[in-house]
């Protein structure tokens, strides 16, 4: 099957799904649930352009990642904790102009690499989040750094959303794919420390996302909502409802729990019809969340 035929088939399938399943252009999710995009979906663009695409796709909020170019006008400036006050002001102005709210940012673990100076780096990260008005930060700090993270969470009143990547047999030391292990890390921690649940990475690891959400309960603060083809680490992303992730069941469980946080569409694999896919996913979410 050639690429053109696959694209036409995908568009026809999406159109039929939209016609049969949802009329969600104005549908509102339950109170407390925010529908968004992860800027990583648009990583080939700048952060300013990712904000524009998020709006174009029908989402309300965005989660940044902290190594994206800032804007077409400032391609050498990187959106991260070193961003100047001037550039933070420009970023906030862009958000206001488009009507998109920034709620979270995914960070890499660079601030933790120098253990002797970790507190300075982590404080800069939380200070940046406060200036930008973020509710939370998402990442995978090492267990021996969680005391420091908890200190900052309490001081800044900003959530820490612990993330999960797929199980990788070549990295047996990596345990964050296991929900029970993750939950053990949060035992007796501040209630503002919880999880960013990546449903695609759970599915790639052969883990049930609905059962994971039941296990995490109120510790689930955000969701990277992905549907994937199969339970393999490299499995590609699919429009919701076309893979193995049980997206409808995940959304139903979030509603049942009275989830409060953001659910972001995230594509790790670029497709020829990326915008169409993201728009489809946003409409899918709105429809299922608004359904009685």
Cα 32–35–41 angle (5° rounding)? Answer: 145
Cα–Cα distance measured from residue 228 to residue 268, given in angstroms and rounded to the nearest whole number: 10
Cα–Cα distance measured from residue 50 to residue 266, given in angstroms and rounded to the nearest whole number: 12
Cα–Cα distance measured from residue 78 to residue 62, given in angstroms and rounded to the nearest whole number: 17
The residue ranges of every structural domain in the chain are: 3-290
Confidence tier at 26 by pLDDT (50, 70, 90):
low
Computed over every residue of the chain, the mean pLDDT equals 92
DSSP code string of 131-147? HHT-SEEEE---GGGHH
What HEC string does 76-88 produce?
CCEECCCCCHHHH
Q: What is the mean pLDDT of residues 204-221?
A: 98
106 pLDDT more than 60: yes
17 pLDDT more than 90: no
105 pLDDT more than 50: yes
Burial-class residue 273 by CB neighbours within 10 Å (0-12, 13-18, 19+). Answer: middle
Give, in order, the Cα–Cα distances in Å from 85 to each of 4, 110, 127, 228, 286. Answer: 46, 21, 11, 39, 35
261 pLDDT more than 50: yes
Cα–Cα distance measured from residue 176 to residue 146, given in angstroms and rounded to the nearest whole number: 14
Segment 172-194, tens digit of pLDDT: 999 999 999 999 999 999 999 99
Contacts of 292 (CB under 8 A, 6+ apart): none
pTM of the complete model beyond 0.95? no
DSSP state of 67: T
**Domain 3-290: which CATH number of 3.90.870.10, 3.20.20.150, 3.30.360.10, 3.40.50.720:** 3.20.20.150
DSSP code string of 169-225? TT-TT--TT-HHHHHHHTTT--TTEEEEEEHHHHHHTT--HHHHHHHHGGGEEEEEE
1 pLDDT more than 70: no
CB 105 within 8 A of CB 66: yes
**Which of 125-129, 174-178, 271-275 has the weakest average pLDDT?**
271-275
């Amino acid at each position: 099957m050639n690429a053109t035929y696959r694209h036409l088939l995908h568009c026809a399938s999406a159109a039929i799904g939209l016609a049969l399943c949802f009329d969600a252009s104005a549908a509102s999710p339950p109170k407390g649930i925010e529908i968004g995009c992860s800027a990583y979906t648009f990583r080939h663009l700048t952060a300013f352009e990712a904000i524009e695409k998020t709006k174009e796709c029908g989402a309300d909020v965005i989660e940044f990642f902290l190594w994206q170019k800032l804007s077409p006008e400032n391609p050498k400036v990187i959106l991260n904790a070193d961003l100047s006050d001037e550039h933070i002001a420009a970023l906030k102005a862009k958000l206001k102009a488009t009507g998109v709210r920034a709620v979270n940012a995914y960070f890499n673990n660079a601030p933790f690499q120098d253990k002797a100076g970790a507190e300075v780096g982590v404080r800069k990260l939380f200070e940046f989040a406060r200036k930008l008005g973020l509710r939370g930060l998402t990442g995978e700090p090492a267990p021996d750094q969680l005391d420091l993270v908890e200190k900052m969470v309490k001081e800044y009143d900003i959530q820490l959303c612990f993330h999960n990547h797929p199980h990788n047999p070549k990295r047996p030391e990596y345990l964050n794919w296991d929900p029970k292990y993750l939950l053990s890390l949060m035992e007796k921690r501040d209630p503002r420390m919880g999880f960013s649940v990546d449903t695609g990475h759970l599915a790639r690891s052969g883990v049930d996302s609905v059962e994971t959400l039941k296990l995490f309960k109120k510790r689930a603060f955000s969701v990277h909502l992905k549907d994937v083809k199969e339970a393999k680490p490299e499995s590609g992303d699919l429009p919701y409802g076309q893979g193995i992730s049980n997206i409808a069941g995940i959304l139903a469980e979030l509603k049942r729990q009275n989830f409060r946080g953001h659910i972001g569409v995230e594509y790790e694999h670029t497709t020829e019809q990326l915008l169409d896919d993201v728009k489809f996913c946003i409409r899918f979410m709105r429809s299922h969340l608004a359904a009685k």
